[in-house]
Amino acid sequence: MAWIAAFAAWGYTPRELPGDGPLRCGDVLHRRLAMPPRETIASEPAPSGAPAAVERYEEALAAMTRLAAPDLRAPSGVTHP
């Protein structure tokens, strides 16, 4: 994983996750965020339906399909699977 190797230059290793605060280089601030308890994320049941939202979604999807650029075709006429 190349991105982990890049972070190693800042003193970050996946085996020893840094605590909250600056990394060894001093230029990068590492933050550890705590997730809120699950009951605060979905404390209310999802609404049973939203017909107006569904209708707007379907209209937007139809417009996107209608206004989308045609598929790119190779000028040489070569077809691609």
Residues 54-69 pLDDT 10s? 889 999 999 988 888 7
CA triple 23-28-32, angle to 5 deg: 70
Tokens found for residue 80: 């691609």
Q: Among the ranges 19-28, 58-67, 72-81, which has the highest mean pLDDT value?
A: 58-67
CA distance 53 to 51: 5
Q: Where are the domains of the chain?
A: 1-30
pTM value is 0.32
